[in-house]
Amino acid sequence: MSRLAKKPILIPEKVEVTLGGETLTVKGPTGTLTRTFSPAVAILVKDGGISISPKNEILTTKMLVGTTVAHIRNMIAGSREAFVKKLIIEGIGFKAEVKGSELVLNLGFSHQIKMPIPKDLKVVSEKGVLTISGADIEAVGAFAANIRSQKKPEPYKGKGIRYDGEVIRRKQGKKTT
């Protein structure tokens, strides 16, 4: 069994956890998250904590226990405080702006790229920095990765979209003799 599952997960103040069958709902100040877990894992909510244990001793079930613990911890953390990803847009003429529920990117192509913003995420665009925040860590990460995939940073000048703190290995380019 996973080492993470040996201790119960504590439920902090202002967070409400309900279990209905295999569906766990976490309600907090930043939002409500719901997820259905595998029936091979037993989840118990009691005494201000959540206990997770495998229902049998099969190897795949033991692996699911650690995954379940990680998902529940992320749900609790996201319901308390929103997860944030920052993207930096570098390049002449490269920009992003939020228009209603749509993100419009100008990335040097002949056309603008329009991406619908998921309803549970908040996107803010300021001078070359795009900030994505939300309660669901998977939705925040997937949307940020989708934006970054539109124009990955290139190694010669570093133009493109990169994560805040990401290091781009630069190449030298042509040498003149």
pLDDT of the chain, 177 residues: tens digit per residue = 567 778 888 988 888 999 888 899 999 998 899 999 989 899 888 888 898 888 888 888 888 898 999 999 999 999 999 999 999 999 898 999 999 899 999 998 899 999 999 999 999 999 889 999 999 999 999 999 999 999 999 898 889 999 998 888 888 888 876
State whether 51 and 116 are in the same domain.
no
State whether 108 and 50 are in the same domain.
no
34, 63, 80 - which closes a domain: 80
Give CA separation, 60 vs 8, 55, 154, in Å: 21, 11, 40
State whether 46 and 104 are in the same domain.
no
pTM of the full predicted structure? 0.87
Which domain, by its residues, includes 97? 83-163
Number of domains in the chain: 2
80, 105, 122 - which closes a domain: 80
State whether 76 and 99 are in the same domain.
no
| Phi and psi at residue 126, to the nearest 5° | -135, 135
Query: Rounded distance, CA 90 to CA 94, Å?
Result: 7
